[in-house]
Chain A
Amino acid sequence: MSIPKTSWADDVEELVSGQQEDDNIRTVVEYSVNEQGKKVKITRKIKRTLQKSIVEHQVAERQKWDKFGAEKGNAQGPDRATTAVGENVYLTLSAGNKSAESEQQEEKKPIKSTTGGKVVCRLCKGDHFTAKCPYKDTLGGLDNPGDTGAGPDDDTVPPSDAASGAGPTGSKYIPPSLRAGARGTGETMRGPGGGSRDDLPTLRVTNISEDTQENDLRDLFGHFGRVARVYVGRDRDTGAGKGFAFVSFEDRAIAQKAMEKVNGKGYDNLILSVQWSQPRTDPK
Chain B
Amino acid sequence: MRPILLQGHERSLTQIKYNRDGDLLFSCSKDHVINVWYTHNGERLGTYDGHNGTVWTVDVDSESKFLVSGSADNQLRLWNVATGKCLYTWEFPTAVKRVAFSEDDKQVVCITEQRMGYQCTIRVFNISRTGDGSKQSKEPAHIFNPVGSKATVCAFTSQSNMIFTGHESGKVALFNFKTGEEVDSNERAHGDVVTDLQMSPDKTYCITSSKDKSARIHDTKTLDVIKTFITETPLNSAAIAPNKPYVLLGGGQEAMSVTTTSLRQGKFETRFWHKVFEEEVGRVKGHFGPINTIAVHPKGISYASGGEDGFVRVHHFDDSYFKTQPYGDLQIED
Contact = CB atoms under 8 A, between A and B. Distances in A.
Contacts, number: 122
A115 interface: no
Contact of A93 (B21, B24, B281, B286): B281
Given A63-B38, A78-B41, A71 B2 contact: no
Interface in B15-46: 21, 23-24, 33, 37-38, 40-46
A141 B265 CA distance: 48
B332 to A, nearest CB: 14
Given A65-B82, A93-B326, A87 B2 contact: yes
B8 to A, nearest CB: 5
Contacts of B23: 55, 59, 62-63
Tell me the interface secondary structure of chain A in the complex.
Answer: loop
B279 A95 contact: yes
A89 B1 contact: yes
Interface of B, helix, strand, loop or mixed by DSSP: loop
A78 B39 CA distance: 11
Interface of B: 1-8, 21, 23-24, 33, 37-38, 40-49, 63-64, 82-84, 246, 264, 272, 274, 277, 279-286, 313, 315, 317, 320-321, 324, 326-327
B88 to A, nearest CB: 18
Contacts of B24: 62
A82 interface: yes
Nearest to A65: B82
B84 A69 contact: yes
Interface of A: 53, 55-56, 58-59, 62-63, 65, 67-72, 77-79, 81-97, 99-100, 103
A83 B46 CA distance: 13
Contacts of A68: 45-47, 82-84
B21 to A, nearest CB: 5
A58 B282 contact: no
A97 B283 CA distance: 11
Contacts of A78: 41-44
Given A83-B7, A83-B42, 9 more contacts: A55-B23, A69-B46, A71-B47, A83-B44, A86-B3, A86-B313, A88-B2, A91-B284, A93-B326
